[in-house]
Structure 1
Amino acid sequence: MSASLGPVREVWAQRSRARTRGDLLYLLYVVAMGAVVLGLPALLSAGRALARGDVLALLLSAGAPPTAIALSLAVAAGLVGLGAVRGPALLPPFFTATLAGGPLPRGRVLRRPFARALLLPLLAGALPAVLVAATLMAADRTGPGTAALLALAGVGLGLLWGGAWSAGQLLRPTPRRLLILLVGLGAAIAAAPPLMAVRELARGMWSQSVAPSDGQVAAWAVGLVAAGAAGIALCTALLGRLRGTELAAQATRWEAATTSATATDLAGAAGAFRALPAAGRRLRAIGGGPTVLLYARRDAVAWLRTPDRCAGGALAVLLGAVALGGAPLLPGPAAWTALLLGALALRTGAGAFVDGIRHGVHTLGAPPLLGQRAGTQLLLHAAAPGLLLVTFGALGGTLVAVVVGGAASGPVMLPVAVAATVLAARAWEAAKGTMPLALATPIPTPQGDLSVLVMLAWQADAVVVPLLGAAALLLVLPSGPGAVLLTAAALVGLLVLLTRRRLRELQA
């Protein structure tokens, strides 16, 4: 059989709904014009809004480059782990079985989906770089040439992230874990100097304005693009070594997730990516003792059955706590950015430890075993993850407090309070149930049907509510620890009442 994909593409192009070359050119035209007419002005406006003294002081300080390197390496480590779940070189299950699993060269078959998937890390790397360049240009701290080089450096960073994502798909479990540890260690080493310099914020590297020269920016841009291109070329050459069983598993998982997401079942879409238990089969989940300890033991054994997911969740919670602990110490938009990233990381990491709460909600339709109703099971299953999240929150905040060297309680109080709020929000999210059909009622307007916005709002509340709670806690933090505790207690109590109401609605 011919190794060319030409005959396959000819057959596929004969479909009644196949896109013609004109359709593709029109799509490219729409995307390009949208980026020029909408995207670029939005970035320039955001740059003008961020061109303020506190933001410029951080961007031009000596601590900004190592911080950027640390964040980039941390993202790369996360992408390596993501490649094990959903890699960039992926086809639908049908094409995975017929093309990637057929006599055609697998590497050639996977090149096109691999190239399409690289657009995501490219945008993720280029957009922040363009935003930084727009901010510096708005403040007259750099010219168009240097701004273009910064954008080029962002493209190179995106290529490196794409290579890390592909490496996670190509490597076996043990080398993948070693690579994640190595890249994570590099991120920690890069982050150490700027973190230690926070202790001397008024006279350390964060107060030293060291604007890079055009030559330095050009060297970084060329180096990043060259390294990224080399990494992508190497990964492209190795696509043929991808294992068919893993490709099929990832394709099936991704199709199930996209189907659930299309049906507005985002919880089901997220559940498609949860790791299956593969370790600790001989661990005893049942034992004696009080009921609370029995449930905590069951939850702990369930965590240990998926060690990679458990370790990733714990690391995300700890990093989120560190970011939340540093938010009160940062000025202006930097504080809110740290709060947003920290709350998102803490919420994402907490998902690995609340399977017991989800199980308690799923027992609503079953007869109550041992006289324990769903609400009681939720409370019992919340003990272990609550203790874990609060402990990691206190640990992350304590690390920030030790590094800063101050006596303020804010860096410790904020992560602990946000951890408690996130756990309550996770329980409220688990009791959400299916979307009411009334929300899908069409809302005709001259601009089109707006019912999709209502459905998106219903889905997004699981993420928005923890972020709003974290923002409220940061706002009351200057009033003292008592105000933080009262606000956290009020938020948790409100979420508990809302969870109880949802459970009653599900039981009705």
Structure 2
Amino acid sequence: MAAGRGVRRGAAAEALALWRGRRAAAGGGADRRYATYLGAMLMLVCVAPAARALWLAGSDPEVVQALTGAAAPRIAGICAAAVWIGALLVGRVRGPALRPPTLASVLARSAHSRAAAFGGAVVRSGWSLVAVTAAAGACFGALLVRHAVPGTGLAGLDSMGAELLAALTGAAGGAGVGACAGAIAAIAWLAGQAAPRAAGPIAAGIAILVGVTEALPEIARVTPWGWIADAWAAAARLATAPDAGPGWTTPGAALAAFALALLPAAPALLARLETAVLEGQAARWESSAVHAFGMDFSSALAGYVPRPSALRRVRAVRDRAGGAAAAGLVRVFLVRDAVGAARAPARLVGGAIGVAVAGPLVALASVAPAPGAAIGVLGAGGAVLAFAALGPFTDGLRHAAAIAADLPLYGVDDAHLLLLHSAFPLSAVLVLMGAAALTFSVVAGVGPLAPVLGAAAIGVAALIARANAALKGPMPLRLLASIPTPAGDLSGAVRLLWAVDGVLLVALAGAIAPLALHAPAWGFVAVAPIGLLVAIGIGRWRGRRA
């Protein structure tokens, strides 16, 4: 029997090698080189500036004080649990066991074991996730420990050498904890793919357990997120009291033991993978990759929009109730968009949570005592989160933009239809972000005017950017022309900027808007990104029939 398994594993390896060889002969190498180039441009244009801004923001004294505060370890543990829950849910739609559609179908329907056919893909995806979480843990560890240099007593080292040594020590410990968290997330990711129907209840159970441990802190010490919190608290103590020592050996060892105990479950989870799940995820990912390769990110994400599953018997379009004609029409479209969004309840709840969380982020940036990099990162993060979370609320807006280039279908002109479909997302932005910002101001004991106004302004900017994205249409042919320069062809960077212009402008608006509250002279600069969004939207609206 062992010999039979070895033969099947060898046959699967030969099939995979043959597939890779045929793809390379058919020009797959050129596609990979172009994908590598696009990835390098993305790193240069987006990731590197964002990473530098995050590091500068993290080095701000107020941010360091917040990271070493009493509540920071609990928040770190909750964030780790949220990552594991997210990995479990993401596995239902895109798991680590992924092959090209044809290869996935052939291997899934063959006599080869799941481990031989899909084990390599799982290992690569798992190591990639572990590398990301280890890098994040190393950054947080270095950020916390590097502030412990004064008073460390490192003889024979100048301040720069002591700071570097402390940063390396913190990075090593943080990387270890992050790698363990990544390994747990990788197993949860595979579990979501192996048991997609059970992933939702399991995720809900973990979330409830996290809430229980928040109410009963003594239970948290025997949970993985509690060990994350203990490791963070140990690093924070080292940052505030250098003579306390690292102290994260015990929680780190417990987390590593838990991760190692989960690893043997991977083969059993692989064996549970269903053929229909493997084929469906492979087809959706291939379609999304093709759209993303062409810089059409909206279409790339459209394949993962869940199908309507609730309120199918509830009428979305209803007759106008009494009152003014204009108010009745607004009410009709408001109800229509609300019922349509509620038919995908999980997506709607996720979007509502994202919009609500964006409110306190923008509010915190609005009430910061002095401008700095931390304010910009908070404001930009809140703005981008609001832009991303508004997706479930703007389906009607995208529908209005899609039919705006044709004859009117509903007896309403194009501009009026677009405004009517804006009522639901605008209400969501003002209610959710405004209420969250107001709640933050009450809890923080600050005036409500600046937080609420800042959240409302950024929310409206995110909605305008969503409308711009709906009106964008296909990429202009002139952007496909090459732009030769001494540094190389910049056409890929230009196309990338065109694809993510809304996200960049919203992030810029969120980063600059709080400055207007600190210095009125910055008011013109703060509204410039929003004005640019409006101008771009007007230009796209006028050229929608071209």
Amino acid at match of 2:97: A
1:13 counterpart letter in structure 2: A
Q: Which moved more, 1:109-118 or 1:179-188?
A: 179-188
Deviates more, 1:147-156 or 1:324-333: 324-333
Residue segments in structure 1 that go unaligned for 5+ positions in a row: 194-204
- In 1, the alpha carbon distance for the partners of 2:440 and 2:377 equals 17
The aligned counterpart of 2:323 is none
More deviation, 362-371/153-162: 362-371
Matching residue of 1:176: 199
Task: Give the corresponding residue for 1:359.
Answer: 399
What is the TM-score with the length of structure 2 in the denominator?
Answer: 0.78
- Give 1:80's aligned amino acid: L
Cα distance in 2, alignment partners of residues 168 and 374 from structure 1: 43
Instruction: Assess, with a 3 A threshold, how the Cα gap between structure 1 residues 390 and 143 changes in structure 2: closer, same or farther.
Output: closer
Task: Classify 1:279/1:498 alpha carbon distance in 2 versus 1 (closer, same or farther; 3 Å).
Answer: same
User: Which residue of structure 2 lines up, in the alignment, with residue 163 of structure 1?
Assistant: 187
- Matched to 2:186, the amino acid is G
Tell me, yes or no, if the aligned pair for 1:47 and 1:134 is still in contact at 8 Å.
no
Q: Secondary structure at the match of 1:282?
A: coil
- Contact kept in structure 2, 1:160 and 1:224, CA below 8 Å: no
In the other structure, the counterpart of 1:307 is 345
1:353-502, aligned counterparts within 5 Å? Answer: 353-478=393-518, 495-502=533-540
The alpha-carbon distance between structure 1 residues 11 and 123, as it changes in their structure 2 partners (threshold 3 A), is closer
* Cα distance, 1:211 vs structure 2: 6.4
What SS does the corresponding residue of 1:118 show, helix, strand or coil? helix
Change in CA separation of 1:67 and 1:372 when aligned onto 2, cut-off 3 Å: same
Q: In the alignment, residue 194 of structure 2 is paired with which amino acid?
A: L
Aligned residue number for residue 198 of structure 1:
none
Task: Name the amino acid aligned to 1:124.
Answer: V
* Corresponding position: 1:99 with 2:130: no
Percent of pairs identical after alignment?
Answer: 30
Letter in 2 for 1:176: A
How many residue pairs match? The answer is 478
Paired with 1:185 and 1:473, the residues of 2 have a C-alpha distance of 37
Match of 1:70 among 73, 78, 91: 78
Closer, same or farther in 2 for the Cα pair 1:119/1:57, shift >3 Å? same
Structure 2 residue aligned with 1:117: 125
8 Å Cα contact 2:380/2:506 also seen in 1:
no
The aligned amino acid for 1:69 is: G
The answer on whether the counterparts of 2:483 and 2:491 sit within 8 Å (CA) in structure 1 is: yes
**Contact kept in structure 1, 2:337 and 2:421, CA below 8 Å:** yes
**In 2, distance between residues paired with 1:458 and 1:190?**
46
Determine the structure 1 residue equivalent to 2:274.
243
Task: Render the CA deviation track for 1:317-342: whole Å, top value 9, x for unaligned.
Answer: 11222322233455744433332332
Q: In structure 1, what is the Cα distance between the partners aligned to 2:183 and 2:537?
A: 43
Summarize deviations over 1:92-140 as a string: whole Å, max 9, x none.
2112211123222224422211111123422331222222333345445
Instruction: Please say if 1:258 is aligned against 2:289.
Output: yes
Offset at residue 260 of structure 1 (A): 0.7
What is residue 200 of structure 1 aligned with on the other side?
none
Q: CA deviation at 1:58?
A: 3.0
- The alignment yields a C-alpha RMSD, in angstroms, of 3.6
Q: Do 1:417 and 1:488's aligned partners in 2 also have CA atoms closer than 8 Å?
A: no
Decide which of 217, 233, 239 is 2:264's aligned counterpart.
233
Once residues 80 and 112 of structure 1 are traced to their aligned partners in structure 2, the CA distance between those partners, rounded to angstroms, is 20
Q: Report the Cα distance in structure 1 between the residues aligned to 2:262 and 2:437, rounded to whole angstroms.
A: 37
Structure 1 distance, partners of 2:54, 2:143, is 8
1:337 aligns with 2:377: yes
The one-letter amino acid of 2:190's match is S
- Corresponding residue number in structure 2 for 1:128: 136
Work out whether residues 260 and 269 of structure 1, in 8 Å CA contact, stay in contact via their aligned partners in 2: yes
Q: Cα–Cα, structure 1 residues 327 and 137, in superposed 2: closer, same or farther, change >3 Å? A: same
Instruction: Please tell me the residue identity of whatever aligns with 2:195.
Output: L
- Aligned-partner SS, 1:5: helix
TM-score (norm 1): 0.83
Moved more, 400-409 or 246-255: 400-409
Q: How far apart are 1:352 and its partner, in Å? A: 1.1
Give the direction of change, closer, same or farther, for the CA distance of 1:325–1:458 in structure 2 (3 Å limit): same
**How big is each residue's C-alpha offset from its partner over 1:10-69, in whole Å with a ceiling of 9 and x where there is no partner?**
2443435659xxx9xxx9xx9xxx9xxx999x9999868954533432333333212211
Change (3 A) 1:16 1:309: closer
Name the SS of the counterpart of 2:390 in structure 1.
Answer: helix
> Cα distance, 1:288 vs. partner?
1.0
DSSP 3-state at the match of 1:274: coil
Moved more, 463-472 or 162-171: 162-171
Q: Distance in 2 between matches of 1:359 and 1:282?
A: 21
> 1:274 aligns to what?
305
Q: Quick check: 1:431–1:499 contact (8 Å CA) kept in 2?
A: yes
- Which stretch has the larger CA shift, 383-392 or 234-243? 234-243
Decide which moves more: 62-71 or 257-266.
Answer: 62-71
Q: Which moved more, 1:439-448 or 1:263-272?
A: 439-448
Post-superposition CA distance 1:391-423 (Å, at most 9, x none): 110121122122213334333222222111111
Q: Aligned AA for 1:6? A: G
Aligned residues of 1:62 and 1:210 also touching (Cα < 8 A): no
Deviation at 1:386, TM superposition (A): 0.8
Contact conserved, 2:57 with 2:377, CA < 8 A, in 1?
Answer: no
